[in-house]
């Protein structure tokens, strides 16, 4: 393949990978807002927490995979704790109260991270098994990025299966449309929402662990990705996993080819796309009207 074609195809592959990264980050946010109507401003903070906890586990045990397995769980546990202690009380004021509360919690998490781990950069490398290049259609490609793509696909499939093929999923979907009824049927509504929230935060933690090896683990990590996740969810439509997935891919490709052809105007492309989509479909591309 001649170099120019290689370049264009690489950009395409690259765009897909970045899209998957975006999807991983955004999926948790999407689920929580779509299912519970809570705009979780602390999502990026939990993302960062997942990365830090993974660093800690790696520092203590030397194994990335242990971190990969347990860091999201620990993060989810902390998220559920936060929800039980504070978020439920905020229900009085509705969405607005939840918004402000999660903003406060985000600040507290960041402060706690700085207190516990300090302000300097922390090293988090990918496992040696994934550290290398593979050859796809004659193009050299980092193995780890393939791993991330795979992970995102697995997450999507898992979530869809969980929601649409299991009894638990049915209960969750029912609870979302009609709380009282499900409650009346004797199902513990609080438990259901706790699971949903925990699941969303688990995804945030997972994203943090998966993406940290590509980035630097430092206290500004949350700010770095927070806006991106938000834009994806907003454009894709709250509550639609498929929407988030498709929009993530679109953003990924826009970003890659934007850089290729428009260089530093690429970020404008993304925001313009978001604005245009919202003007035509105010609830997002695949959003469901409230």
Binding of residue 215 to other proteins (CB under 8 A): yes
Distances in Å between the Cα of 228 and the Cα atoms of 99, 115, 254, 255 are 18, 26, 13, 12
Q: Which is nearer to other proteins, 90 or 175 (CB)?
A: 90
Binding of residue 89 to other proteins (CB under 8 A): yes
Q: Which is nearer to other proteins, 7 or 181 (CB)?
A: 7
How far the first Cα of the chain sits from its last, in Å, is 50
The DSSP call for residue 168 is: H
User: Long-range CB contacts (< 8 A, 24+ apart) of 219-223?
Assistant: 219/48, 219/110, 219/113, 219/114, 219/119, 221/47, 221/48, 221/51, 222/44, 222/45, 222/47, 222/48, 222/106, 222/110, 223/44
Beta bridge partner(s), residue 141: 134
Q: Which residues contact 30 (CB under 8 A, 6 or more apart)?
A: 233, 236, 238, 239, 240, 241, 244
SS (H, E, C) 186-240: CCCHHHHHHHHHHHHHHHHHHHHHHHHHHCCECCCHHHHHHHHHHHHHHHHCCCC
User: What residues between 237 and 276 interact with other proteins by CB under 8 A?
Assistant: 238, 255-260, 263-268, 271-272, 274-275
Q: Residue 189 and residue 205: Cα distance in Å, rounded? A: 24
CB of 185 to other proteins, least distance (A): 28
CB of 69 to other proteins, least distance (A): 22
CB of 161 to other proteins, least distance (A): 28
Q: Which residues contact 8 (CB under 8 A, 6 or more apart)?
A: 260
CB of 165 to other proteins, least distance (A): 29
Binding of residue 278 to other proteins (CB under 8 A): yes
# residues contacting other proteins (CB under 8 A)? 86
Binding of residue 133 to other proteins (CB under 8 A): yes
Q: Which is nearer to other proteins, 103 or 160 (CB)?
A: 103
Task: With contacts defined by CB under 8 A, name the span among 64-72, 122-130, 173-181, 202-210 that binds other proteins.
Answer: 122-130
Task: With contacts defined by CB under 8 A, name the span among 103-111, 166-174, 179-187, 190-198 that binds other proteins.
Answer: 103-111
Q: Which is nearer to other proteins, 58 or 175 (CB)?
A: 58
Binding-site string for other proteins from residue 154 to residue 193, where x marks contact by CB under 8 A and - marks none:
----------------------------------------
Task: With contacts defined by CB under 8 A, name the span among 57-65, 162-170, 222-230, 242-250 that binds other proteins.
Answer: 222-230
CB of 187 to other proteins, least distance (A): 27
Binding of residue 282 to other proteins (CB under 8 A): yes
The DSSP call for residue 281 is: S
Cβ–Cβ < 8 Å for 206, 148: no
Locate 11 and state its tokens: 């950009």
Task: With contacts defined by CB under 8 A, name the span among 9-17, 62-70, 164-172, 193-201 that binds other proteins.
Answer: 9-17
CB of 62 to other proteins, least distance (A): 15
Binding of residue 15 to other proteins (CB under 8 A): yes
């Amino acid at each position: 393949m001649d170099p120019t074609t290689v370049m264009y195809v690489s950009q395409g592959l690259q765009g897909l990978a970045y899209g998957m990264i975006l999807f991983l980050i955004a999926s948790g946010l999407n689920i929580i807002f779509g299912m519970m109507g809570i705009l979780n401003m602390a999502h990026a903070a939990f993302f960062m927490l997942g990365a830090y906890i993974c660093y800690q586990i790696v520092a203590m045990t030397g194994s990335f995979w242990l971190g990969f397995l347990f860091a999201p769980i620990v993060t989810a546990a902390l998220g559920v704790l936060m929800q039980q202690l504070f978020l439920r009380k905020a229900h009085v004021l509705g969405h607005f109260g939840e918004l402000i509360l999660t903003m406060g919690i985000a600040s507290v998490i960041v402060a706690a991270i700085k207190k516990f781990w300090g302000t300097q950069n922390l090293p988090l490398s990918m496992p040696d098994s994934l550290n290398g290049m593979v050859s796809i259609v004659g193009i050299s490609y980092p193995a780890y990025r393939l791993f991330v793509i795979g992970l995102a696909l697995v997450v999507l499939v898992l979530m869809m299966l969980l929601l649409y093929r299991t009894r638990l999923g049915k209960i969750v979907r029912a609870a979302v449309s009609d709380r009282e009824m499900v409650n009346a049927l004797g199902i513990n509504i609080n438990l259901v929402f706790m699971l949903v929230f925990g699941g969303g935060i688990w995804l945030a933690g997972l994203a943090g662990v998966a993406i940290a090896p590509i980035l630097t683990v430092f206290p500004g990590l949350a700010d770095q990705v927070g806006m991106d996740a938000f834009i994806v969810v907003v454009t894709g439509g709250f509550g639609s996993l498929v929407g988030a997935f498709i929009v993530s891919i679109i953003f990924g490709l826009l970003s890659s080819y934007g850089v290729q052809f428009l260089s530093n105007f690429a970020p404008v492309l993304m925001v313009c796309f978001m604005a245009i989509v919202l003007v035509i479909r105010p609830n997002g591309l695949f959003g469901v009207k409230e």
